[in-house]
Amino acid sequence: MAYIAQPFRLANLPKISSLNNYAQQTSYLQVADVLEPTSNTVTVGVSGSSISQYVINPTPKLVYNIPIPSTNVVTGCDVLAMSDGAELWSYALTANGKVHTLHAVLRKAGAAPQETGLDASEDEHFKQTLKGRVVRVRILSACKRIMVVLDCGLIQTYDYQLQLLHSLDISYTNVGLVEYFTDSAGKDYMFVLCDIQNKKTCYKLFQLNHSAENLPITELNSVILEDFALAESKMVYQFGKLYRLVDSKMYVYSLPHFQLSHCVPLPFVRKDDQVSLQAISTNRLLLTCCNKIFLLDLLHNAILYERELSNIKFFQLLRAAVIPGTTPGESNRTFAIGVSTKQGSNPSSALDVVTIAVGTGTLKDSLGKGFLSGEHRRTEALKPLFGTDDDESPNIDFAAILAELTSRTTPKAFDSIFYKRLGPKKEYYTEHDRFINNSEFLAGILDHIFATFADEFPKALIYLLTHPLFPSSHTKGLLPKLKAHPRLFKQAVVTCPNLPLDELLHELFTVLNDELSLDLSLRVLQEFTKEDIKQGIRELSRVDLHNFLNFVIKDSTDVEERQKAKPQLFQLLSLVIDAVGLLALEGDILHRLSAFIDSQVAVADQLVELLYLLENSSTKKGKHLNSVTRLDESPVAATIPLYSVEYLDS
């Protein structure tokens, strides 16, 4: 069940006016990217104060602190827990809006937690001056690099001692958003959004090449987005989707091609509301409006849970620990970090932690919680499914039409009256012909056709063979009557309902045409159960399998439909053999059948051997490319799966 708990205090923020300003809080407070649902520590960069690390449970407490000058603004920070127990901290500062620096601090393993106001003098500190303000800092553990993206359009890569290794100019300034993600194959990517004049934005997609020292980042795609103003948007990325909130509309884009998927109106968000949002789980977001927190399901357009914080003026989300929340039995509880603000004569702000149960993401959680606006809740009158012309059935005098048809003795005259009086849309039955529903009328027409016409049948018979109400009383003996007319015979086999099983089986074992044999085989399997088919074969007076066996084992790769239907043909062949018994088969048939089975088994053996060789070759070639890139793991070679062939008795 989805739920939002009452936030609890992590730490009070310093008495700095910028930290109480809602519009500047997200720029002056930076939370490291290492949050996970099971995390018990959170690292926050507080501008004008310090880079601080807190534990959450059992009691929130400051455990490490790096002071910074009061004139410095934290523009990004990240923390990496290394395999030997040490921690690498990297953060970026801007002093007086002019001097931009990147810092790295290596906390040694086993260091005791620091108290507030004491820095770690024994830790290693590194510093580097930058050419612009940092938008995002990211520690890449796979290649032991620190990557920073500057607002001037530079993407720079440093080692852990902040020695510049690579720099890339993306040709656009005003970088506004930087996000990292990993695809299903384990490849790492990054995309940036750069603000351009006239409400345009440049989207660039990059691939991170951890093994390439000279080219650690490669540009894959660049797109100019029209009518996309970064300054007017609140954005968050999650599981291949970018959510962009503009006023009261949520636009959902699919990555990596950045295509607009759909737009969701949020009627509870007003234009002047102070809004923030964070990804929390699949298709679910946390959204705050002033002092209200909403848990949204954007797949089913529902508010899963809502909580109002009456003791504060504003609550703004900084970062959340994201979980998929789709696997049955997995924990759906996580948390988010936000800043609460109290206004008045003595305004103050504090870091708070809010615990969330994201739910299952199914329709069950969203029933009765949709956020449709009032105008969309009005009752809609039911509308007809079809137009007025289709809704009205013509008034047909079947007796008069039948009398007129039975007076015609030539196929041409019969067809003229049939299509003129009944007016079918096609030469075969369609839904527009539902009014032709008189079974006695259809039976009378068929009686006249078979009694009057012998050498040439009217075209209306093709139409009748496709009619779902074809009288079952006229299906007995129908196939022998039409055997001299291949077009009508095939039409009857394919579409005529209620054909007797004994006639279908008789034609199947006697017909010499491969196309008709295929149609008959599929019709028998589709219309009747396995037991009915075997019983029908046993009741035949004589079963000659030569023609059917020749058809099944014939190698005709030029017929695509037959190749697709081979599994069904083998199934029917097994039913035939099961019905007549192996002892009833002649020696010649048994010899040919055994040779055919041996050839199929040989082909299967060859394919398995080729597949094994291909798997073995590709595994050896890609052994060094598929190694795990984490620091605390060694490369693991892929194991070769075992293959075997089992012989099943039919």
Give the tens place of pLDDT for each residue, 488-518. Answer: 999 999 999 989 999 999 998 888 888 888 8
3-state secondary structure of 412: helix
Please report where in the chains the tokens 């949002």 appear, as a residue: 277
For the ranges 113-127, 246-260, 368-382, 584-598, the one whose mean pLDDT is highest: 246-260
* Domain contains 500: yes
Quick one: 286 exposed, middle or buried, by C-beta within 10 A (0-12, 13-18, 19+)?
A: buried
pLDDT of the residue at 392: 55
R_g of the chain computed on alpha carbons:
38
| Structural domain total, the chain | 1
Position 636 pLDDT exceeds 50? no
- Cβ contacts of 207 within 8 Å, gap of 6 or more: 187, 188, 189, 217, 218, 220
Q: Is 67 inside a domain boundary?
A: no
pTM over 0.75: no
Average pLDDT rounded to a whole number, residues 141-152 = 90
Do 283 and 322 meet the contact criterion of CB atoms below 8 Å apart? no
Mean pLDDT for all residues in the chain = 83
pLDDT of 154: 93
Lowest mean pLDDT among 124-138, 402-416, 560-574: 560-574
Number of other residues whose CB lies within 10 A of the CB of residue 440: 11
Is beta strand 333-342 parallel, antiparallel or unpaired with respect to 314-320? antiparallel
Residue 117 has pLDDT above 60, yes or no: no
Query: Which residue range is the domain that position 598 belongs to?
Result: 398-603
| Residue 64 scores a pLDDT above 70 | yes
Residue 273: both structure tokens together: 């509301």
- Give the per-residue pLDDT at 202: 93
Residue 626: the pLDDT is 47
Q: Give the pLDDT mean for 591-615.
A: 84
From the list 291, 325, 318, 321, the residue with the least C-alpha distance to 306 is 291
Does the residue 518 lie in any domain? Answer: yes
| Positive/negative CA dihedral, 571, 572, 573, 574 | positive
What's the CA angle centered on 250, arms 246 and 254, to 5 degrees? 115
pLDDT exceeds 50 at position 209: yes
**CA torsion angle for 581, 583, 587, 593 (degrees, to 10)?**
30
Q: Work out the pLDDT band at 251, boundaries 50, 70, 90.
A: very high
- Is residue 58, in this structure, part of any structural domain at all? no
For residue 624, pLDDT over 50 is answered with no
Over range 218-227, report the average pLDDT: 90
**Region 437-462 average pLDDT:** 89
Q: Nearest-CA neighbor of 373 among 295, 249, 290, 268?
A: 268
Answer yes or no: is 248 within a domain: no
DSSP state at residue 172:
-
Q: Which residues are CB-neighbours of 470 under 8 A, at least 6 positions away?
A: 442, 464, 496, 497, 498
- Could you report the per-residue pLDDT of 382-411, keeping only the tens digit for each? 666 665 555 555 677 888 888 888 888 898
**324-349: pLDDT as tens digits:** 756 555 668 899 999 998 877 788 88
Please indicate, yes or no, if residue 443 is contained in any of the structural domains: yes
Q: Which residue has the tokens 């007016």?
A: 423
Whether omega for the bond prior to residue 567 falls within 30 degrees of 0, making it cis, is no
pLDDT digits (tens, 9 = 90+) for 450-499: 988 888 899 999 999 999 999 989 999 999 989 888 899 999 999 999 89
pLDDT value at position 569? Answer: 83
Angstrom distance (rounded) from CA 354 to CA 294: 12
- Three-class DSSP category at 384: coil
pLDDT for res 397: 84
Q: Residue 463 — φ and ψ, nearest 5°?
A: -65, -45
Strands 72-81 and 61-67, bridge-based pairing: unpaired
| pLDDT value of residue 394 | 62
Q: How many other CB atoms sit within 10 Å of the CB of residue 580?
A: 16
Judge whether 264 and 301 are in contact, CB under 8 Å.
yes
Which amino acid is residue 4, in one-letter code? Answer: I
Q: What is the pLDDT of residue 630?
A: 43
Q: Are 295 and 4 in contact (CB under 8 A)?
A: yes
Q: Quick one: which of 295, 333, 302, 297 has its CA closest to 317? A: 295
- To which residue do tokens 């759909």 refer? 262
Q: What is the pLDDT, as a whole number, of residue 632?
A: 47
Instruction: Please compute the mean of the pLDDT values over residues 67-84 and round it to a whole number.
Output: 90
> Rounded CA gap, 333 and 421, in Å?
70
DSSP-derived letter for residue 454 is S
CA end-to-end distance (rounded Å), the chain: 51
Residue with tokens 């088919």: 533
Confidence (pLDDT) at 380:
57
Separation of alpha carbons 352 and 48, rounded Å: 19
Q: What is the rounded CA–CA span in Å between residue 27 and residue 329?
A: 38
Bridge partner residues of 74 (DSSP): 93
Q: What confidence score (pLDDT) does residue 286 get?
A: 92
- CA triple 369-372-373, angle to 5 deg: 130
What pLDDT, on a 0 to 100 scale, did the predictor assign at position 119?
Answer: 47
Q: What is the mean pLDDT of residues 358-377?
A: 73
pLDDT classification of 634: cutoffs 50, 70, 90: very low
* pLDDT tier, 438 (very low <50, low <70, confident <90, very high otherwise): confident
Question: Rounded distance, CA 142 to CA 144, Å?
Answer: 6
